[in-house]
Amino acid sequence: MTSLDETKHKRNKPCENCRAHRRRCIPTSTTQCERCTHKGLYCEYKHTVKPVLVKTLVPASKRIRLQEQVRTMKEILEQLEDDMQQTLACRSQQQRHDSAVATSSLAPTIRTLPGRTQQADPSWFVTLQHTDSGIRLETSISRMVDLIHFIRQGAGFSPQRSPTYYSNHAQQTMMVVTNKMLKVELALRKVFGKQALRQEDTVTISNPLYSYDHTRQTTILHLVDSHFQCVRSVVPIVASYYHPLISRQPESTVAYAMAGFMALSSCALHVNDIPYDSRSEFGKYLYDRAKDKLRDDLFDNDTPSIETVLAMLIMIRSSMILVRNKDTRLYLDLAWRTVLALRDTHLPTLRTSSFETTTTPALAQAETWRRLFYGVRYMLIHVQIILDDPVDFGSLVLESNIGYPQPLSCECCLPQEKRRVEIYSLSVRFDDCHISSNMDTIGYRLFAGVLDKASLWQLSYMEHRLFSYWQDLPPDYRLSPTPMEYLDPAVVFGVDLHVLRISQLYYAHWLTLQTRFMQPPATANLKDTSLTRIDGGRALLIVSICGDAMTHLFQAFYTHHTCMLELHWLLIVTDALQLLTKTANDAVRTRAELNLKTCLPILMAQMQAKHDAPSYGGGGLSPISSASSSPAASYALSPGDSASSEGLDEIDTVQDPSLVYYGKVKKMAPSFLESSLDPRIV
């Protein structure tokens, strides 16, 4: 197009002469219009140049992304529609089957009056459509009667949630923390906290019998075998691969660490026939030797290994028994750094291997690394909380994208090993349900005892996480039909011990959470208390339920496997039960007194030197009858305060290395232990 044509095309207004005389202005190829040319007038035209607007283009990447989102939404809607159609079809088929069975089972009736033809049950359709304004739902329901029938039929497909899920949030917005920390929790904080990091370098006096290589190595191998057999093994490594490997190297660091922990532990069922006078002294000797060997391994070998992580994780637990807090913090930091360094080595194997095929050494190592990762992470979080160190939960969540532990094909053929891995995976999921942005600021700070109050919706969020975890458990892993009620002792004693460990995690976390908000027991008559309203009375009632459940669990552990008893939970539950004995409500107070009478003998029996008693374990005896024949019960059930004081002094003066932890707790909380031994209760 020429410039004149462009001018002619853009001349969309009349000239001044044509406009004044209201004549049609016809542009020509020249600058004069036809009328001005014919009359010989000067054609004055005000030419207005329109701005050229540049059309904004949407980037191709954005268009592709939007198209992908639309395509994904369409697929989701189509899948949802198919699922609903299948559900409705199955439901109608089941109803027809039930009606046919019911009709065939009834005898023929005799009609004296002509009856109406039976009408078929009403049916409805539900259609989901994706429109510009969102998802549109269409249904053929037009009457209230149809709506009632529809709700009744649809109720079978909705989650059956207990009334304990719901709370009246409109009554209050903040919950005041009434107990930042129990007395025994404060004592444990003093034992393992920052102020207790300073430790004395003790010199181990080596027994001449330890120098005999054959006797020492035989004992170490026996303790290693006991570690793989004992249910106390919290992190189930792949035994079919690592048990023969460690047994072939009795002088290795991991063998010394594993044997030392078993010698220091309270396991009496699998650990026996130790050819030394003091099992605990031998365990302390093995721990010190493992410490020297680990130092040499870290300096001589720059390549991280799973065996090193395993040795450090076991030594962390041994150092906590010996109350060597400096070692605990050092090995925990090294273990976490090492397990992160092994991530790029073993994670590709986990993502590309099939767990249904034959287990290769690489897969066994990778799966063991994943289980050790969660074990070290659990210790890292809780030790940092005790030390009041800041915990970066964001990085922990980022690093935790490795999947959950699962049994390998070599473990599926062994029911006991498969059960251990499944229970460990459930415990890992329990820890994962608390590692989030909300729990970062509220949950762990609440457990650390640094909050004065918490909002109601945050507390509801934490409770919802616990309820959701309970709902996701398999039915045979639950001890009650509802997530919060008093347990039947017969059910507890008839369940697998590994299932009891999961239940202990569940009820212990509930108890720890609700003790922060429970009403002062002296003023709690619980007359108007309901589980549907979050308040201090409800919190105290939940503490009573959880304390009762934990007591039954302790009783089952003590009867079958004493090494599964965890002393810190025994102490915390006993302290909580002691508070409940002052409750104004008669039923809660009576139950707390009975539970305290059951827990105290178990607690005091666990705080005694028992490594040299080969008959310890109780067999099938009940906790009360077993404890009554032990030295612990002689003062735990004594009628006078003097005997109780002597028992406490005995804990203080015992030189058993495995009782250092108990002696420290007694020094930090003497009033708690002395009041627990009140003869009016026991």
Residue spans of the domains in the chain: they are: 3-39, 178-452
Which residues contact residue 434 at a Cβ distance below 8 angstroms, ignoring those fewer than 6 apart? 443, 444, 462, 465
The H or E element that residue 455 is part of is: strand 453-455
618-621 own/partner pairs: CB under 8 Å, 24+ apart: 618/558, 618/559, 618/562, 620/559, 621/559
CA distance 594 to 592: 5
Report the alpha-carbon angle 519-520-522, nearest 5: 130
Given a cut of 70, the residues of the chain with pLDDT beneath it are 1-12, 47-50, 90-124, 128, 130, 132-135, 154-172, 194-212, 231-233, 268-270, 272, 388-400, 433-441, 608-682
Residues in the chain: 682
Predicted TM-score (pTM) of this structure: 0.67
CA distance 11 to 15: 9
* pLDDT (0 to 100) of residue 549: 94
* pLDDT (0 to 100) of residue 203: 53
* pLDDT (0 to 100) of residue 113: 33
Residue environment code for 137-174, b if the CB has 16+ CB neighbours within 10 A, otherwise e: eeeebeeeeeeebbeebeeeeeeeebebbebeeeeeee
Give residue for tokens 């970062």.
Answer: 440
* pLDDT (0 to 100) of residue 209: 65
What are 126's strand-pairing partners?
A: 139
Which residues contact residue 341 at a Cβ distance below 8 angstroms, ignoring those fewer than 6 apart? 304
* pLDDT (0 to 100) of residue 636: 33
* pLDDT (0 to 100) of residue 474: 87
Residue environment code for 592-621, b if the CB has 16+ CB neighbours within 10 A, otherwise e: bbebbebbbbbbbbbbbbbbeeeebbbeee
| Structure-token pair, residue 465 | 């996480």
How many angstroms separate the Cα of 109 from the Cα of each of 117, 518, 524?
Answer: 15, 62, 61
CA distance 212 to 159: 65
How many angstroms separate the Cα of 348 from the Cα of each of 362, 425, 647?
Answer: 11, 20, 56
* pLDDT (0 to 100) of residue 411: 84
* pLDDT (0 to 100) of residue 278: 78
Distance of alpha carbon 302 from the chain centroid: 34
Residue 314: Cβ-neighbour burial (10 angstroms; 0-12, 13-18, 19+): buried
* pLDDT (0 to 100) of residue 114: 35
CA distance 18 to 184: 102
* pLDDT (0 to 100) of residue 609: 54
Instruction: Please report how the helices 415-432 and 456-472 are oriented relative to each other, as an axis angle in degrees rounded to 10.
Output: 160
